[in-house]
Amino acid sequence: MIRRIADRRHRFGAAQGGNVAILVALGSTLLLGAAAVGIDLGLVVQARRKAQGAADIAAMMAAIDPTQADTMARRSLGDNGYGSATATVDVGTYDASQPGVAPSSRFRPGASPANAARVGLSTSVPVTFGRALGLAGAVPLRVTGTAASARFAAFSVGSGTLQVNNAIANALLGSLLGAQLSLSVGDYNALLGARVDGLRVLDALAPSLNLQAASYTSIVQASASVGQVLMALRVAAQGNAAAVNALSGILNALPNAGNTVPIGQIAPLGDAAALAPPRGFGGPTVGLMSILGATASLANGQNQVSVDLGASIPGLLSTRLTLAIGERRRSSGWVRPGGPNATVQTAQTRLLIEATASAPLGLGTLSLSIYAEVAPAQATLRALGCAGGARQATIDAQTGLATLAVAAVPRGAVIGGGTGPDLSQPAALIALPLVNVSGRALTTIGSTTQTLVFNEADIANHTVRTVSSTGLTQSLTGSLLGNLSLAINGIGVSPLLQTSLGATFAAIAPGLDLVLDTTLRTIGLRLGYADVDVDGVLCSQAVLVQ
């Protein structure tokens, strides 16, 4: 009996029949369990997507008006079926202009000025099959959505808007670009009156830089030759035949492609790269002449420019101007109030005009050196309004401190940056064997700050608002020359010579004003003034940022 039981046990252990059925039974149980969990997981994923969509919509509604953020967000959640869910609404500032900061850290709750809202939504999803496996009956969910109001403005400071003298402008721009220009007064009027979309300029630049598929951020970070920039400007100015012809005249005069310049310093984009608009997005419209002047200045760098105008200026026998431009600041591009690029400045400029004219009383030739130094003017975007579709921009504009002098200033002392030349020594006006007339004058134009408000009509029409320093007279050089301290061989001058020289100075002052004003306007400056123009205001609805 014992042997029979052992034999049967051995046969049972060695038998393999029915193994598959056992494995199928066990595997089916596992597969059914996995399928059940998978169904529950799908329900959780679907519920999470729905909750995330509701949080995103609520955040965008809240960001439209941060003062009503809590009310608008909870109303939106209720409309989407989450009225009884637990929700949090935080208002703060979202700054997209910091590429080195993680997107999750760009929202600062409670910061001012408030331009964004973050909505957090907590809910749960009931599960069915998971309970049979001992899992919880509901899965908790927590989602957040962050949106920022997309309100931006673009503005420029210091661009001259009046006609320039073409002989002076040709000589100056030609020297900056290394070309012999022969543009007419009509050409310059066309350039001064034309406006182009800054982003269209980048679109036109992309093919020549082999960046056809690149973002605006990549294009801005590249460099281009002067010729490439001019060709892009010509494409962007299509539809304005006069401006296109003027640009073609400059391109034809270039002996080669020209120097390479960093695009980000001439294209009026500001923090548009951080805004990351898609290709084809409408950008701020900017004066074509301001872009051209900035390109020419950048191409020259901080090198001294010396231009001999000969006898082309009325009332003067000869004229030479020497110019040095400091670091140039561009237009703002799309910026927000309080943002890192919300303040823009013009360039510091130093200019020496050396002129000769016929001296009175038969004393031969009168030599006159006028030195001008213009410190940066600046403008700061303070506030934006978009109520009811009517745009409004508030800008604080400040004129630059300007110095005008008649003194012994050598050409080599006119340099960009650093300390200015010594203005304490009188300049030699008339030098004869027995008669030496010298003179010195110095005037300073103080800085003035004014708040400018641009309404919808101003923005649409690109109205230029001007802030001027106090104490300006109609003729700056005439006022300067009228205050000259004169001396003959170190002693005072006679009343007759004083009167005669005064008449001569009054006669040549308009020509000197023409040289001074045209030179500064060609590079986008005015002496004692700050010209501010709002290039555009973007009043979009709130956009999702996280």
The arithmetic mean of pLDDT across residues 250-259, rounded, is 92
Exposed e or buried b per residue across 86-111, where buried means at least 16 C-beta atoms within 10 angstroms of its C-beta: ebebbbbbbbbbeeeeeeeebbeeee
- Taking the alpha carbons at both ends of the chain, their separation in whole angstroms is 80
pLDDT for the residue 32: 53
The arithmetic mean of pLDDT across residues 84-107, rounded, is 78
CB 242 within 8 A of CB 157: no
Q: Which of 485, 462, 466 is nearest to 537 (CA)?
A: 462
Write out the H or E segment, with its range, that includes residue 321: strand 318-325
The arithmetic mean of pLDDT across residues 356-373, rounded, is 92
pLDDT for the residue 319: 95
Q: Tell how strand 349-358 and strand 305-310 pair up.
A: unpaired
CB 187 within 8 A of CB 249: yes
CA–CA distance, 60 with 76 (Å, rounded to integer):
10
CB 344 within 8 A of CB 157: yes
What lies within 8 Å, CB to CB, of 15 at 6+ separation is none
The more confidently predicted of residues 105 and 328 is 105
Checking if the pLDDT of 117 tops 80, the result is yes
The arithmetic mean of pLDDT across residues 21-28, rounded, is 55
Three-state SS at 435: coil
Checking if the pLDDT of 41 tops 90, the result is no
Token readout for 254 is 């270039």
pLDDT for the residue 407: 95
pLDDT for the residue 3: 66
CB 529 within 8 A of CB 521: no
Residue 270 DSSP one-character state = B
Q: How confident is the model at residue 21 (pLDDT cuts 50, 70, 90)?
A: low
What residues does each domain of the chain span? 22-79, 158-301, 302-538
- Neighbour count for residue 539 (Cβ, 10 Å): 17
Three-state SS at 97: coil
CB 402 within 8 A of CB 527: yes
The arithmetic mean of pLDDT across residues 455-462, rounded, is 91
Checking if the pLDDT of 504 tops 90, the result is yes
Could you tell me how far CA 3 lies from the centroid of its own chain?
A: 101
pLDDT for the residue 284: 78
Residue 335 DSSP one-character state = B
Checking if the pLDDT of 361 tops 80, the result is yes
Global pTM reads: 0.71
* Interval 175-198: pLDDT, tens: 999 999 999 999 999 998 899 988
CB 77 within 8 A of CB 85: yes
The arithmetic mean of pLDDT across residues 253-268, rounded, is 84
CB 339 within 8 A of CB 97: yes
Write out the H or E segment, with its range, that includes residue 234: helix 226-236
* Interval 474-494: pLDDT, tens: 688 888 888 888 888 878 778
CA–CA distance, 234 with 204 (Å, rounded to integer):
9
CB 323 within 8 A of CB 172: yes
pLDDT for the residue 454: 95
Report the chain's mean pLDDT, rounded to a whole number: 83
pLDDT for the residue 510: 92
The arithmetic mean of pLDDT across residues 414-439, rounded, is 87
CB 505 within 8 A of CB 493: no
* Interval 194-240: pLDDT, tens: 999 888 888 999 999 999 888 887 888 899 999 999 999 999 999 99
pLDDT for the residue 277: 64
Q: How far is CA 261 from CA 57, 68, 211, 224, 315, in A?
A: 43, 47, 17, 6, 38
Percentage above 90 pLDDT, the chain: 32
CA–CA distance, 140 with 124 (Å, rounded to integer):
4
CA–CA distance, 374 with 385 (Å, rounded to integer):
33
Q: How far is CA 41 from CA 45, 174, 207, in A?
A: 6, 71, 48
Token readout for 457 is 């009509």
